[in-house]
């Protein structure tokens, strides 16, 4: 098999995040690096309060609003710190509900990230009770999502938190769960953000670190229904205070100016090609190809998540056991060989998450169909050439 011949000798990058970006976005960033549109400055050098930069920032917000059809009663914030900072930001900003007594918050745990979010909320146990609605580690090892009939939602909870897609184990809510009409639904969409059209009006807060599906690390997107602003605790750091940031159009302090600029280019790249319907069609096609290749392998490649209802379009952890002992990073001899040979062909970052071992294919928005086609071809060839030991 020939190594990939990509522009600039670039690899197909299957990293789980930070992740591959559209080549056109990087080209534009490169071309504008020394002097952005005759402004005399690089975007990195611009005062965040200058007209030229505020236009970049506002355009990014408007493009995102257009992409997701975000209703007018939602604010879009560009903050910092990633999803991990928002794990604290969510309770810090939503607990002052105006009701009597200590509020309860509901957490749905379907993997490592939603577990971390719940653990962070527990640090604020002086301010709220954390109710675990469901924890699919018990009994399911995070391999599936238990039926909603088994969930224990709290009537009148301050909010319900979940993560649409779990990056590590690749479990995904492919459809929106059914929640009570008046529930404040808070969702970490970091790893499937902008991968399909969604109905934003079903959510109270959506947040996402940009570095998987929407840009580089350092920009964190928060979409919040305006009536939820003002529920912050006094102990909420100002830079993390959704209300204060919304009042200042995300410029209470200096935002992460360059990463937001790149996000804007990424949003515009999606819009130019057809918006979320286009991305969704692409992402479905990529996922179909990969899952079909795995199915055709007759068990040579083993999926971690076998229930098609909750399989992710974004992250697919898989194993190649085929005999031999695992090393201390949970890698079998075949897996080590797979990762090394793929890398030689320009298919990189396929090593699985360190605790889980094996292989993980992440195929975010910017990973092209050609990349997945080449990976699937490689997988077939690898299987043919490397029978079980």
* Active site residues per annotation: 113, 188, 212
- Smallest gap from Cβ 157 to a copy of itself, in A, equals 21
Residue closer to a copy of itself by CB (options 47, 284) is 47
Q: According to CB under 8 A, which residues from 142 to 181 bind a copy of itself?
A: none
From the list 292, 300, 339, 337, the residue with the least C-alpha distance to 321 is 300
User: 332-341 long-range CB contacts below 8 Å, 24 or more apart?
Assistant: 332/357, 332/358, 333/389, 334/386, 334/389, 335/359, 337/382, 337/386, 338/382, 338/386, 341/378, 341/382
Region label for 331, one of left (φ > 0), alpha (ψ between -120 and 50) or beta (otherwise): beta
- Smallest gap from Cβ 51 to a copy of itself, in A, equals 11
In the sheet that 74-79 helps form, which strands lie side by side, from edge to edge? 74-79, 220-225, 205-209, 185-188, 159-163, 104-109, 129-135
Residue 339 interacts with a copy of itself (CB under 8 A): yes or no: no
Instruction: Kindly tell me which residue out of 1, 2, 5, 8 binds a copy of itself, with binding defined by CB under 8 A.
Output: 8
In sequence order, the 6+-apart residues with CB closer than 8 A to the CB of 255 are 48, 57, 78, 79, 80
Strands 205-209 and 185-188: parallel
Q: According to CB under 8 A, which residues from 263 to 292 bind a copy of itself?
A: none
Residue 349 interacts with a copy of itself (CB under 8 A): yes or no: yes
Residue 249 interacts with a copy of itself (CB under 8 A): yes or no: no
Residue 35 interacts with a copy of itself (CB under 8 A): yes or no: yes
d(CA 383, CA 385) in angstroms, rounded, equals 5
d(CA 203, CA 97) in angstroms, rounded, equals 17
- Smallest gap from Cβ 299 to a copy of itself, in A, equals 29
Residue closer to a copy of itself by CB (options 121, 279) is 121
Q: Is residue 76 within a helix (H) or strand (E), and if so which, with residue range?
A: strand 74-79
- Smallest gap from Cβ 27 to a copy of itself, in A, equals 7
Task: Determine whether 348 is exposed, middle or buried from the number of CB atoms within 10 Å of its CB (0-12, 13-18, 19+).
Answer: middle
- Site size toward a copy of itself, by CB under 8 A: 70
Q: How many residues does the chain have?
A: 389
Instruction: Kindly tell me which residue out of 24, 42, 62, 321 binds a copy of itself, with binding defined by CB under 8 A.
Output: 42
Residue closer to a copy of itself by CB (options 118, 134) is 118
Residue 257 interacts with a copy of itself (CB under 8 A): yes or no: yes
Q: Angle 51-68/275-296 helices, nearest 10 degrees?
A: 60
Q: What is the CA radius of gyration of the chain?
A: 22
- Smallest gap from Cβ 110 to a copy of itself, in A, equals 19
Q: According to CB under 8 A, which residues from 215 to 234 bind a copy of itself?
A: 216-219, 234
- Smallest gap from Cβ 253 to a copy of itself, in A, equals 4
Report the sign of the C-alpha dihedral through residues 279, 290, 167, 3, in that order. Answer: negative
In the sheet that 302-303 helps form, which strands lie side by side, from edge to edge? 302-303, 315-319, 359-362
Q: According to CB under 8 A, which residues from 10 to 29 bind a copy of itself?
A: 10-11, 13, 15-21, 23, 26-27, 29
Residue closer to a copy of itself by CB (options 217, 271) is 217
| Pattern 64-103, a copy of itself, x by CB under 8 A | ----------------xxxxxx-xxx--x-----------
Instruction: Kindly tell me which residue out of 47, 58, 148, 284 binds a copy of itself, with binding defined by CB under 8 A.
Output: 47
Chain contacts with a copy of itself (rule: CB under 8 A): 7-11, 13, 15-21, 23, 26-27, 29-30, 33-35, 38-42, 44-48, 50, 80-85, 87-89, 92, 120, 123-124, 126, 209, 211, 216-219, 234-235, 237-240, 252-259, 262, 346, 348-349
């Amino acid at each position: 098999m020939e190594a990939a011949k990509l522009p600039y000798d670039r690899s197909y990058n299957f990293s789980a995040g930070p992740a591959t970006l559209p080549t056109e976005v990087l080209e534009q960033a490169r071309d504008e690096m020394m002097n952005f549109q005759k402004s005399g400055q690089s975007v990195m050098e611009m005062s965040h309060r200058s007209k030229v930069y505020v236009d970049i920032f506002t355009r990014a917000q408007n493009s995102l609003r257009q992409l997701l059809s975000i209703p007018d009663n939602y604010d879009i914030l560009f903050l910092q710190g990633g999803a991990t900072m928002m794990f604290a930001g969510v309770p810090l900003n939503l607990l002052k509900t105006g009701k009597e007594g200590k509020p309860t918050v509901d957490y749905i745990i379907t993997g490592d990230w939603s577990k971390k979010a719940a653990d962070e909320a527990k640090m604020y146990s002086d301010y709220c009770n954390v109710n675990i609605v469901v924890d699919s580690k018990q009994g399911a090892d995070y391999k599936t999502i238990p039926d909603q009939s088994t969930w224990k939602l709290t009537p009148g909870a301050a909010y319900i938190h979940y993560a649409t897609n779990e990056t590590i184990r690749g479990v995904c809510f492919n459809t929106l769960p059914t929640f009570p009409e008046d529930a404040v639904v808070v969702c970490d969409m970091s790893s499937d953000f902008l991968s399909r059209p969604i109905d934003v009006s079903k959510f109270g807060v959506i947040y996402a670190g940009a570095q998987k599906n929407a840009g580089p690390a350092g920009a964190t997107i928060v979409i919040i229904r305006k009536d939820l602003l003002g529920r912050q605790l006094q102990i909420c750091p100002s830079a993390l205070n959704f209300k204060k940031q919304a009042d200042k159009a995300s410029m209470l302090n200096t935002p992460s100016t360059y990463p937001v600029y790149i996000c804007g280019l990424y949003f515009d790249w999606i819009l130019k090609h057809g918006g979320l319907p286009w991305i969704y069609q692409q992402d479905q096609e990529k996922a179909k190809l990969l899952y079909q290749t795995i199915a055709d392998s007759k068990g040579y490649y083993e999926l971690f998540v076998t229930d098609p209802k909750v399989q992710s379009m974004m992250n697919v952890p898989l194993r190649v056991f085929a005999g031999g002992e695992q090393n201390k990073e949970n890698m079998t001899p075949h897996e080590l060989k797979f990762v090394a040979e793929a890398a030689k062909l320009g298919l990189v970052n396929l090593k699985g998450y360190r605790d889980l071992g094996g292989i993980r294919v992440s195929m975010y928005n910017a990973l092209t169909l050609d990349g997945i086609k080449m990976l699937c071809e490689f997988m077939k060839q690898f299987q043919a050439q490397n029978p079980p030991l």
